[in-house]
Structure 1
Amino acid sequence: MITKLLFTALIVAGVIFWTRHRGEARQRRSRRPESRAARSPWYWRMAPAGALLAVLGVSAFVFWLEWEAEHQVFTVRVIDTRSGEVRQYPVYRDAVSNRSFQTIDGRRVTLADVERMELVEGAPSAPETSLREP
């Protein structure tokens, strides 16, 4: 996410540099002195700052939405296929990988070949409970 923000800032800086350089080049090429033009209205002068604030606001909102989605609590049910024993662990969405996960309290769990993992939305009723499936 930080790379997206840095990339956007780099593009904005490049556009500002390009427009200033272009304006200076025009002034050097013109042979007649420039007359003082009337100042543009205040809303035209504030438009770039408003656009920058809008871009920063939208990027902050998208960052918050991604963070909220990654920190959503799920229940991982680990089922031993030999005995039918079921254990439940609370995890965040982004802490689950292929055959391992990290619980909310920081324990790292790696599944054996005979275990199966189910991901259920919502927190478990009682953490790490052992149940027998019929």
Structure 2
Amino acid sequence: MIDSKELQRKLANKGIQVVDDGRTIWVTIPRLRLPPQFYPSETRLLIEYPKYGGEPKAYVDRRLRIKQGGQLVPSRHLPECLTPQWLLERGYVYVCMRIEDSNVEFEDFLVALKRWLEGLRE
């Protein structure tokens, strides 16, 4: 189980917000630099980290596009249909990335997410 107080302590000086609602820890990173195939080059990132088991999930700005053949297109790996409505209304979209280990540490999840984004092509 992840300790939200320890996570808050680690991330507070980086401008990262950590909210514990009792069942889930929500981590908001206001500016995550993205690989060159994305537009814009930064996104806000929301991580849903279940406290009592379950796979963490990530959400990025729903306006995010990927460069393909000289055009900017929505990524099929950022499906609005799998995003809860309340998050869509707040401007987020689900990142369809599979994590095999539901007990993954926060830092390891963040590293895996950055690698996944770096390799993403349409």
Smaller-chain TM-score bracket: under 0.3
More helix by share: 1
Q: Which has the larger radius of gyration?
A: 1
TM-score by length of 1: 0.22
More strand by share: 2
